[in-house]
Amino acid sequence: MFSFSQASAGRFAPSPTGPLHLGSLIAALGSYLLARQAGLRWLLRIDDLDRPRVVEGAAAEIMQLLETLGFEWDAEPIWQSCRDERYAEVLQHLREQGLVYPCSCSRKEILASAPHAGEEGPVYPGSCRNGPVGNRQQLAWRLRTHARPISFRDRFYAEQKQNLQSEIGDFVLFRADGFFAYQLATVVDDIDSGITQIVRGADLLGSTARQIYLYNCLGQPLPEYQHLPLLMGDDGEKISKRQGEVGVVHAGNGGEMMRLALQFLGQSPPAELLDAPASQQLLWALKHFDPGQIRPQNRLLSGLSDKR
């Protein structure tokens, strides 16, 4: 099912649902510096799985911008929208193992029957485990979970633990609207690309136990997890979800955004670099990066943009 992949690597996996925001630049920068510091390759993946949310042209713009800012990736980017066959193959494999089952519950039915809401939404109570009982025509496919807690150690957020059965429930790998789910696609892509270091925003900490469980079901070795603190807008929302221009990175403000991203990760470039182009600041950071300065605390945009 999985062949041994080449060298180990880190990655950045933007979703092209809009322009690059400072929050995503922080994830790109953190993953780049941590990969390079560990002597790893660094890959780019375009997470354009969720077709209805993809904005045309956004992926090309993000890639162009990353290049202008000085990032260098080590292989042709993977596009999730081109990988349906591969995801289908892995889903079929899980099906043969009896690990997935079709579910016909609508959201409304799940809400009505969920024992309680978990942090990630209503917990699926397993209604269709022994055969579809819901009223929806289109089927989703869910992975059977178990009640043994899944623990892992995150480099910045330390010990984490989640009981999938009571906190999430059997989760969707193939959506009723015909698209593969993020959890399946990301794990399959990370395995196939030889990703050994996963660096991303702490908003995905809550997905990690599900992904670890999938690695286990597929018999694959786990990557290391390193979640970065989140940049929040002044309203406490994740910055990339905010509307408007605040925090949007473009070629014209690249230097300033790189400075803010470095500052957010606790790095302090020398004064003469403060107004330098992004690519020069990035070169400095490759030499002087100190991950010990990354603190697992979310921060507000306004706390960053105050003048030096």
Residues that bind ligand GLU in the complex, under the rule CB under 6 A: 13-15, 47, 186, 200, 204
If the CB atoms of residues 13 and 58 are measured against ligand GLU, the closer one turns out to be 13
If the CB atoms of residues 62 and 143 are measured against ligand GLU, the closer one turns out to be 62
* Least distance CB 165 / ligand GLU (angstroms): 23
* Least distance CB 77 / ligand GLU (angstroms): 13
The total of other beta-carbon atoms located within 10 Å of residue 156's CB is 18
If the CB atoms of residues 184 and 285 are measured against ligand GLU, the closer one turns out to be 184
* Least distance CB 15 / ligand GLU (angstroms): 4
DSSP for the chain? --PPPSS-EEEE----SSS-BHHHHHHHHHHHHHHHHTT-EEEEEE----GGGPPTTHHHHHHHHHHHHT---SSPPEEGGG-HHHHHHHHHHHHHTT-EEEE---HHHHHHH-SSEETTEEPB--TTTTS--SS-SSPEEEE---SS-EEEEETTTEEEEE-HHHHTBSEEEE-TTS-B-HHHHHHHHHHHTTEEEEEEEGGGHHHHHHHHHHHHHTT-PPPEEEEEPPEE-TTSSBGGG--SSTTB--GGGHHHHHHHHHHHTT----GGGTTS-HHHHHHHHHHH--GGG--S--EEHHHHHS--
* Least distance CB 113 / ligand GLU (angstroms): 29
* Least distance CB 97 / ligand GLU (angstroms): 24
If the CB atoms of residues 47 and 167 are measured against ligand GLU, the closer one turns out to be 47
* Least distance CB 252 / ligand GLU (angstroms): 23
* Least distance CB 11 / ligand GLU (angstroms): 8
* Least distance CB 29 / ligand GLU (angstroms): 14
Residue with token string 């809400």: 111
Spatial distance between the Cα atoms of 43 and 35, rounded to a whole number of angstroms? 10
Sequence letter at residue 293: Q
If the CB atoms of residues 127 and 186 are measured against ligand GLU, the closer one turns out to be 186
For the packed helices 22-37 and 58-69, what is the interaxial angle rounded to 10 degrees? 50
If the CB atoms of residues 16 and 254 are measured against ligand GLU, the closer one turns out to be 16
Spatial distance between the Cα atoms of 232 and 67, rounded to a whole number of angstroms? 25
If the CB atoms of residues 169 and 201 are measured against ligand GLU, the closer one turns out to be 201
If the CB atoms of residues 203 and 256 are measured against ligand GLU, the closer one turns out to be 203
